[in-house]
């Protein structure tokens, strides 16, 4: 009876996901928390080594099924999708996060499965153990290393209004009613809609409100009227959609009088990432931050240019 349920195909899905989540669990609660004090950080290995191991483990269970390339690719996709579904369940990841992570998981799971197929065809246990040992060694080294990554994104637009008209809209602005253009905002990622401030002075508290009601609490740390508004983010929401994996540290608007009735408006944001590898996630972080900037700055432009 059990043999009918736990076929090699099912075992490939089951055991590879079990091993993956067991490693993530141990890593999250033992290694990462005790050694680096960065609990909640997802390291490079969790998105690279684990999917590869999943592929290799699945390939081991599927080695006698004589799968062709199309079938192995398709089954590896299903395996990665099961892992993503389980991530939403056990790790509380939201749909946007899963969309962002899916290219990594799919690619490395498929790659791992083909690597596994090649390994088990050769039937060279020494080589196979060396490869798996190497992957585990990389995982342990990566997990116990300190991970820290901060970056800044800067965007500029020209507003056809003098700095004095732009300034008040920079400090606070009314609700944005324009439809979102950025595809991630359109499929449900929270986008900025309004900014409020308790006063036009240094130290004033500011709020940046997002489309789903989330609020970033901010404090003005530089108030140089018509030139520089810099604010530190003092509190930010934690939710499964991105916000748990990135901290926005500080924001800034710089206004430059072009001397012809126009203003060059520059938006800067500093952020810290808690997901690695940064060569992958920083592309997303920059794109999302840039689109937050542009949504706000285009709104400021519209308000400032209105007669």
Chain positions contacting other proteins, by CB under 8 A: 48, 52, 68-70, 73-74, 76-77, 103-104, 106-112, 114-115, 118, 279
The answer to whether the peptide bond before residue 278 is cis (omega within 30 degrees of 0) is no
Q: How far is the CB of 42 from other proteins (least distance, A)?
A: 17
Q: How far is the CB of 7 from other proteins (least distance, A)?
A: 23
**Residue with Cβ nearer other proteins (59 or 303):** 59
Nearest in space to 249 (alpha carbons), one of 202, 216, 211, 206: 216
- Sign of the C-alpha dihedral computed for residues 50, 152, 232 and 179 taken in this order: negative
**Residue with Cβ nearer other proteins (107 or 250):** 107
Q: Residue 150 in contact with residue 286, Cβ under 8 Å?
A: no
Q: How far is the CB of 254 from other proteins (least distance, A)?
A: 31
**Residue with Cβ nearer other proteins (108 or 231):** 108
Q: How far is the CB of 1 from other proteins (least distance, A)?
A: 34
Burial of 100 (0-12, 13-18, 19+ CB in 10 A): buried
Q: How far is the CB of 34 from other proteins (least distance, A)?
A: 27
Q: How far is the CB of 154 from other proteins (least distance, A)?
A: 22
**Residue with Cβ nearer other proteins (44 or 167):** 44
Q: Which 8-state DSSP code applies to residue 180?
A: P
**Residue with Cβ nearer other proteins (68 or 260):** 68
**Residue with Cβ nearer other proteins (69 or 213):** 69
Q: How far is the CB of 48 from other proteins (least distance, A)?
A: 6
- Residue 95 CB neighbours (<10 A): 14
Q: How far apart are CA 43 and CA 274, in angstroms?
A: 8
**Residue with Cβ nearer other proteins (30 or 118):** 118
Q: Residue 239 in contact with residue 214, Cβ under 8 Å?
A: yes
Question: Contacts from 184-191 at CB under 8 Å and sequence distance 24+?
Answer: 184/96, 184/99, 184/288, 184/291, 185/211, 185/291, 185/295, 187/96, 187/99, 188/95, 188/96, 188/241, 189/96, 189/241, 189/242, 189/288, 190/214, 190/241, 190/243, 191/291, 191/292, 191/295
């Amino acid at each position: 009876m059990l043999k009918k349920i736990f076929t090699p195909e099912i075992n490939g899905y089951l055991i590879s996901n079990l091993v993956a989540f067991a490693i993530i669990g141990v890593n999250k609660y033992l290694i990462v928390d005790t050694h680096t004090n960065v609990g909640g950080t997802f390291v490079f290995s969790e998105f690279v080594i684990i999917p590869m191991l999943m592929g290799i483990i699945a390939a081991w269970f599927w080695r006698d099924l004589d799968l062709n390339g199309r079938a192995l690719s398709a089954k590896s996709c299903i395996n990665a999708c099961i892992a993503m579904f389980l991530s939403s369940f056990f790790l509380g990841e939201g749909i946007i996060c899963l969309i962002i992570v899916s290219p990594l998981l799919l690619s490395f799971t498929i790659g791992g499965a083909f690597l596994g197929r090649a390994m088990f065809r050769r039937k060279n246990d020494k080589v196979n153990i060396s490869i798996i040992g190497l992957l585990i060694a990389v995982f342990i080294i990566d997990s116990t290393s300190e991970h820290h990554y901060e970056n800044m994104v800067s965007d500029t637009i020209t507003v056809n209004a003098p700095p004095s008209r732009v300034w008040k809209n920079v400090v606070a602005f009314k609700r944005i009613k324009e439809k979102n253009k950025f595809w991630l905002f359109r499929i449900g990622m929270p986008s900025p809609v309004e900014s409020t401030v308790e006063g036009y002075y240094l130290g004033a508290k500011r709020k940046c409100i997002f489309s789903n009601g989330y609020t970033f609490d901010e404090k003005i740390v530089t108030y140089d009227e018509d030139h520089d508004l810099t604010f530190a983010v003092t509190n930010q929401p934690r939710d499964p959609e991105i916000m748990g994996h990135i901290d926005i540290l500080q924001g800034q608007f710089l206004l430059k009088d072009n001397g012809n009735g126009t203003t060059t408006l520059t938006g800067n944001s500093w952020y810290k990432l808690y997901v690695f590898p940064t060569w992958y996630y920083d592309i997303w972080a920059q794109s999302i931050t840039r689109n937050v900037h542009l949504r706000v700055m285009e709104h400021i432009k519209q308000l400032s240019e209105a007669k």
